[in-house]
């Protein structure tokens, strides 16, 4: 009986090992051939730990991005969603653009991101001009400030553009610090950059020798990537209803109340928690500007600009916002208005999404082109090129 049990157990183990090896071989074939463009493939580990922001792109890793639009991407030698470039400043002007996934733009080829488009336009006019993409998915205001303080300043830029979605100032996402840098009150109740994630077990593991082995396995084993995917999305993820695609925060039919939250935020300082995060964000950018003599442009998104019936209310809200930014010694760009001027009210939705989801999601190739042209113009004007 005991021998039978052992034989059965050995057969089961051998079957599992053989299945794992076959799965590993299958997905390696998929990844190494054109099949990777059509067949399922495990997500690669594009992000790793960072002491300043909680997470960042890993250096020179390659894999398929599978969400919204399938793209083969490679992070740069500096660990950015960018082309390879030296850390040292070249002879031409260098600008950095910081933002969330709209700037990171994993949905298109690196050469098609808005930063790459802006760089090509400027370099054609001013040889050696550089525009570095510091976009990072899900970056909240505190993460953007911390990213500028570290990766941004290390590049010794002549100009920084910080692109922020205005909805991201609201707690609790803007104030949590357990996964990434957040704004938390200090002993005096003043909001400061806070790094609570450094004390979490997950962050400590990712920075340990075991964590280094874990990332090595992710880089060298398709099966390990599959298991990691299951851990991240859940074992029974396919049984759950699909997540709604990312949508821009734009009201339907331009209701009269649509811009009231922004008007209250920048003219009345309400809600107080959101305004406190905004004020801390501007305060910290202004401190970097003064300390490094670095021109900084705050560029805002998602303030609806297409509604003619809201023009006066929008002008009041944006005017109050601009005054707060410029009073701190920073510069301001209204990205929504610039996009509207470029494509018109009827052309904006075509800048987002892919295939059947056109109009919803991240910037597509055309959207990145429009943003890149705007950034090139903004940089040229700011640096008086």
What are the strands of the beta sheet with 296-301, ordered from one edge?
A: 130-133, 94-98, 159-165, 296-301, 331-334
Pair 169, 301 in one domain: yes
For 191, other C-beta atoms within 10 Å of its C-beta total: 22
State the CB neighbour count (10 A cutoff) for residue 92.
15
Place of tokens 């488009």: 117
Mean pLDDT (10-residue bins), the chain, 385 residues: 68 63 64 67 87 97 90 96 96 97 97 98 96 97 98 98 97 96 96 97 95 87 72 47 46 79 95 98 98 98 94 96 98 98 94 93 97 98 89
pLDDT at residue 279 in the model: 98
Whether residue 174 sits in one domain with residue 301: yes
Whether 77 maps to a domain, the answer reads: no
CA distances from 150 to 56, 145, 155, 218, 249 (A): 11, 9, 9, 27, 30
pLDDT at 134: 98
Cα within 13 Å of Cα(378), Cβ side: 30
- 25, 105: one domain: no
Q: Does a structural domain hold residue 328? A: yes
d(CA 97, CA 297): 9
Question: Rounded CA gap, 33 and 146, in Å?
Answer: 39
310 and 191 in a common domain: yes
Domain membership flag for residue 350: yes
Number of domains in the chain: 2
Q: Which spans in the chain are helix H?
A: 2-32, 101-104, 114-125, 141-147, 153-154, 201-206, 209-220, 222-233, 260-263, 272-292, 311-327, 335-343, 365-382
Distance CA 146, CA 285 (A): 10
Output the domain CATH number for residue 142.
3.40.50.1110
Interstrand relation of 159-165 and 130-133 (parallel, antiparallel or unpaired): unpaired
Do 25 and 97 have their domain in common?
no
How much is the pLDDT for 8? 66
So what's the pLDDT on residue 241? 44
Residue with tokens 């099949």: 35
CA distances from 329 to 61, 166, 191, 293, 333 (A): 38, 20, 20, 11, 14
Q: How far apart are CA 355 and CA 68, in angstroms?
A: 9
In a domain, 86, yes or no: no
Tell me whether residue 256 is in a domain. Answer: yes
Whether 185 and 256 map to the same domain: the answer is yes
The reply to whether 30 and 98 lie within a common domain is: no
In a shared domain, residues 306 and 164: yes
What is the per-residue pLDDT for 22? 67
User: First vs last Cα of the chain: how many Å apart?
Assistant: 85
Structural domain range at position 31: 2-37
Same domain, 12 and 153: no
Between CA 63 and CA 81 the distance in angstroms is 13
């Amino acid at each position: 009986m005991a021998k039978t049990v052992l034989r059965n157990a050995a057969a089961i183990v051998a079957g599992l090992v053989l299945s794992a090896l076959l799965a590993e071989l299958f997905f390696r074939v998929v990844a190494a051939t054109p099949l990777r463009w059509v067949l399922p493939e495990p997500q690669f580990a594009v992000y790793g730990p960072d002491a300043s922001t909680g997470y960042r792109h890993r250096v020179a890793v390659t894999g398929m991005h599978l969400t919204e639009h399938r793209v083969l991407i490679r992070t740069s030698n500096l660990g950015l969603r960018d082309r390879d470039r030296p850390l040292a400043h070249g002879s031409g002007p260098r600008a950095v653009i910081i933002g969330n996934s709209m700037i990171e733009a994993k949905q298109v080829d690196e050469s098609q991101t808005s930063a790459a488009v802006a760089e090509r336009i400027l370099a054609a006019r001013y040889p050696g001009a550089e525009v570095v993409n510091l976009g990072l998915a899900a970056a909240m205001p505190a993460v953007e400030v911390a990213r500028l303080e570290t990766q941004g300043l290390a590049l010794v830029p002549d100009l920084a553009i910080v692109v922020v979605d205005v909805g991201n100032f609201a707690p609790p996402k803007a104030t949590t610090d357990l996964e990434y840098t957040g704004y938390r009150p200090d002993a005096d109740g003043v909001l400061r950059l806070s790094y609570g994630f450094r004390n979490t077990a997950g962050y400590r593991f990712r920075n340990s020798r075991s964590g280094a082995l874990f990332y090595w396995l992710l880089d060298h084993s398709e099966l390990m990537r599959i298991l990691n995917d299951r851990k991240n999305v859940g074992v029974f993820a396919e049984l759950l209803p699909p997540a709604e695609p990312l949508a821009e925060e734009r009201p339907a039919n331009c209701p009269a109340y649509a811009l009231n939250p922004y008007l209250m935020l920048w003219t009345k300082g309400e809600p107080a928690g959101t305004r406190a995060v905004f004020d801390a964000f501007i305060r910290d950018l202004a401190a970097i500007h003064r300390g490094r003599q670095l021109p900084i442009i705050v560029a805002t998104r998602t303030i609806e600009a297409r509604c003619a019936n809201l023009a006066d209310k929008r002008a009041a809200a944006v005017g109050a916002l601009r005054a707060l930014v410029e009073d701190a010694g920073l510069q301001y760009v209204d990205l929504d208005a610039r996009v509207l001027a470029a494509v018109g009210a009827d052309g904006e939705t075509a800048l987002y999404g892919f295939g059947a989801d056109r109009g919803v999601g991240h910037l597509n190739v055309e959207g990145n082109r429009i943003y890149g042209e705007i950034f090139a113009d903004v940089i040229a004007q700011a640096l008086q090129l």
